[in-house]
Amino acid sequence: MRTKGSFVLFFFFFIFPLALAQLRPGFYGTSCPRAESIVSDLVQKRFSADNSVTAALLRMHFHDCFVTGCDASILIDSTNQTQSEKESGANQTVREFELIDEIKKALEAECPSTVSCADIITLATRDAVTLVGGPRYTVLTGRRDGLRSNVDDVDLPGPQISVPDAQQVFQAKGLTSDEMVSLLGAHTVGFAHCSFFKDRLTNFQGTGLPDPTMNVTLIPKLRRICDAASTDNFGPKTFTARFFHFLRSFASAMVKMGNIQVLVGNAGEIRQN
């Protein structure tokens, strides 16, 4: 009888593009055997100090993969000649760069010039998801790091985007509508800034009325939340099972997102910092 695990392996190795065959679980098993445990230990340490690290890493991972692919270009600093992705308005709320730097430093001490920053982001995000009660999914490794980062490449979907437009954005990255919904489950461990949607509660498009397309029972609940003094400073700390009962769907969507436009083989580089 075919097991769930064998189905997942069949999906990833035969349905995915041939280039992704160079990615595999345990890519560093020989070249850096402790790589994944080092990442896990440092994420656990950071999580113990601040459990919002999960939401931060999910955001970083998404913002990296949805620009030029999962190549860690979001980590590159600007130069005198070029503004990097970090300078984009959409990336001003991305954080935990210091954690990735700390992990990279530890891995360079263990196995110089071996583990890519792109794999570090992907592994760290998976480990952080697990710490808040999310699924522990298998990460394919072997990504290489991108050589460039340009602010002009950043074109991420904003909070005001419509569902049809969001579907187009995700489909352009090879993700289905169901996978888009699954990935939205990541927001169950974070929070939405009231400033992004408050106009829909009271003055939609200057009408002085709520957005007529919103659920009428949701509007007063959101108004009460957004009128509270600590509007944007709270949110659930674990995965909400009622919203997120299809953990396998989320796990497979995360793996698929982590494989968007990856660099493998001799493409890109392995950054040292």
pLDDT for 87 equals 96
Mean pLDDT of 43-59: 95
Which candidate in 61, 63, 193, 245 is catalytic? 63
Give DSSP secondary structure letters for 96-128.
-HHHHHHHHHHHHHHSTTTS-HHHHHHHHHHHH
State yes or no: 73 annotated in a binding site: yes
Of the listed ranges 7-21, 117-131, 148-162, the least confidently predicted one is 7-21
Residue 157 labelled as part of a binding site: yes
Domains and CATH numbers, the chain: 4-156+251-257 (1.10.520.10)
Given a cut of 90, is residue 225 above it in pLDDT? Answer: no
pLDDT of residue 152: 95
What's the whole-number mean pLDDT along residues 124-135? 92
Q: Is 193 a catalytic residue?
A: no
Region of 189 please: left (phi>0), alpha (psi -120 to 50) or beta: alpha
Ligand-binding site membership of 268 (annotated): no
Distance, CA of 152 to CA of 156 (rounded, Å):
11
Is 241 or 247 the better-scoring residue by pLDDT? 247
Give the tens place of pLDDT for each residue, 200-224: 888 888 888 888 888 888 888 888 8
- Res 17 pLDDT > 70: no
Give one word for 253, left, alpha or beta, with left for phi > 0 and alpha for psi -120 to 50. alpha
Q: Is 71 annotated as a binding residue?
A: yes
CB distance 71 to 151 below 8 Å:
no
pLDDT the model gives residue 2 = 46
Model confidence over 76-96: pLDDT tens digits? 999 999 999 999 999 998 999
Q: Residue 38: its pLDDT value, please?
A: 99
Q: What does the pLDDT average to over 85-114? A: 96
**HEC sequence for 233-249:** CCCCCCCCCCCCCCHHH
User: How many CB atoms within 10 Å of residue 166?
Assistant: 16
Q: Which residue has the higher pLDDT, 116 or 203?
A: 116
Per-residue pLDDT of 171-199, as tens digits, reads 999 999 999 988 876 665 555 667 667 77
Average pLDDT of 123-141?
93
- The reported pTM is 0.79
**Average pLDDT of the segment spanning 106-114:** 98
